[in-house]
Amino acid sequence: MVRVREIDPPAGVEPLEWTLLTDLPVDTLAACERVMRIYRSRWIIEELHKAVKTGLDLEASQLSGYRRLGALAGLISVVAVHLLQMKWSARTTGDLPLEPEMKAEPMVKVLEKIHPPAGQKTMQWLWISIARLGGCQGRKSDGPPGRLTLWRGWQTLQTLLRGCNLAGP
């Protein structure tokens, strides 16, 4: 068992306290810190499982057999990681301008026509434009787009890009 308590919480905030049960040895401070690091990573693992289960709906698959379902789960896991990366990129790199080579991407050209940027093309504009294709209103009072909204927007964008490719130059 590892018990963790926050020593200097911000003013007016109750200190965090965790009691962690583990089967790992915790006979040194370094071992205790390892258990804490593992526990801190738990939320991203939960997000990944939620993306696989509810966002990509693995459980609704009609595949039978361990091998087929395992192959689908492997593929869906890669997509789920991509969704989580999109979600966190939208939240952390918003003010960065798009790189010059990215501005020439067909996806950016399609998004410019659907949701023209008010000013400079930034990562925030890119992610919000994709999220708007997935149903995000894009209002200032709304929170940042979540993985489901980004996923729906990404699917719509891929359909639009496929249509552009089929239509030719």
Tell me which amino acid residue 161 is.
L
Exposed/middle/buried for 125, CB within 10 Å: 0-12, 13-18, 19+?
buried
Residue pLDDT tens, the chain, 169 long? 999 898 898 999 999 898 999 999 999 999 999 999 888 888 888 888 887 877 677 778 888 888 988 888 888 888 888 878 777 776 787 678 887 777 778 888 899 999 888 888 888 888 888 889 999 887 778 777 877 888 889 889 999 999 988 987 7
pLDDT for 140:
76
Do 90 and 123 meet the contact criterion of CB atoms below 8 Å apart?
yes
The whole-number pLDDT of residue 31 equals 93
Nearest one of 4, 75, 6, 80 to 38, comparing CA atoms: 4
- What pLDDT shows up at residue 55? 67
Residue ranges per structural domain of the chain: 2-40, 43-167
Closest of 110, 128, 107 to residue 118, by C-alpha:
128
**What separation in angstroms does the CA of 125 have from each of 16, 40, 82, 130, 148?**
36, 30, 18, 9, 18
Yes or no: domain 43-167 corresponds to CATH 1.10.740.10? yes
Distance CA 101, CA 119 (A): 18
State the DSSP code for 31: H
The position carrying tokens 């963790």 is 4
Phi, psi at 4, each rounded to 5°: -120, 130
